[in-house]
Structure 1
């Protein structure tokens, strides 16, 4: 569970790294590290927490992401691999490998797209639907816990700033 921001030391690893660079290379503006370094660190921390959370369901977060996205799409709980790739923001190779694994686990099924003979549709199986129902609340609780150090209004501001960075950088 996250600590409140006021319980956190005055300096973090990004501050320390930036001070080191400033001392050694004062000619280089490393101010971007204040944001990028923290985002990269949080990505590791958040992914580890989400994988730990999902481990009690015998899946990893990436497996949950496929199943949860199909469930959130609504009936008939199916999407094309490209739609999944765009929603999950991962590479086509990454989504192909994930789909293969999640299909082997019995949570999804790939079938021919009736509207496009070359295309594929990924659909949630009954087991996948059951997993999504079992995991969605736990995942939401974990996500809320990870941002609990921020007040609700701070979370809104940060979400807006992060959205702007995502839109600006693809």
Structure 2
């Protein structure tokens, strides 16, 4: 019998099997991290293709969608400085430049001189970019709601709170 029991309504998974194997081979090693982080990694790998397909149906990859979504949630007039985008998305400046070039060529963003400093450019959603971002985001959130339908609303809130707490504890060490 497994050392790691699942709720009766859920089947064992590969993480349970691996933990059992490690418990036999190295019984003194605590594998609880694998139970959480291993599953988080597996979930990411499982849902990423579905999310990527939604974004691709709107002509976007994940990085480009991230830029458009960041501009959209900034609210009207849907514009930010490249450094604001860069800092909020934690990508290299070169990576940001590449994304902005692609989005500009696709007509989804425009780069405008800042009124207060003509040397500085602002990144702004075009009307096409705003419509694309909104449609892609709505479809992505509908997909994510379907993916989480196996959990009750209360379970989703609890899981989100636990993940927020875990992320907070991990990022506190970096500050």
TM bucket, shorter chain: 0.7 to 0.9
Shift of 1:131: 0.7
- 1:20 maps to 21
Q: Please show how residues 101-116 of structure 1 align to structure 2 within 5 Å.
A: 101-115=102-116
The unaligned stretches of length 5 or more in structure 1 are 1-5
Aligned residues: 165
For 1:137 and 1:82, how far apart are their aligned partners in 2?
A: 26
For 1:27 and 1:116, how far apart are their aligned partners in 2?
A: 62
1:123 aligns with 2:124: yes
For 2:71 and 2:150, how far apart are their aligned partners in 1?
A: 30
Shift of 1:54: 1.9
Provide closer, same or farther for how the CA distance between residues 34 and 76 of structure 1 changes in structure 2, counting only shifts above 3 A.
same
When normalised by structure 1's length, the TM-score is 0.81
When normalised by structure 2's length, the TM-score is 0.79
Q: Please show how residues 76-87 of structure 1 align to structure 2 within 5 Å.
A: 76-87=77-88
For 1:20 and 1:120, how far apart are their aligned partners in 2?
A: 56
The unaligned stretches of length 5 or more in structure 2 are 1-6
1:47–1:61 Cα contact (<8 Å) kept: no
Higher relative contact order (CA 8 A, sep 6+): 1
Shift of 1:84: 2.4
- 1:31 maps to 32
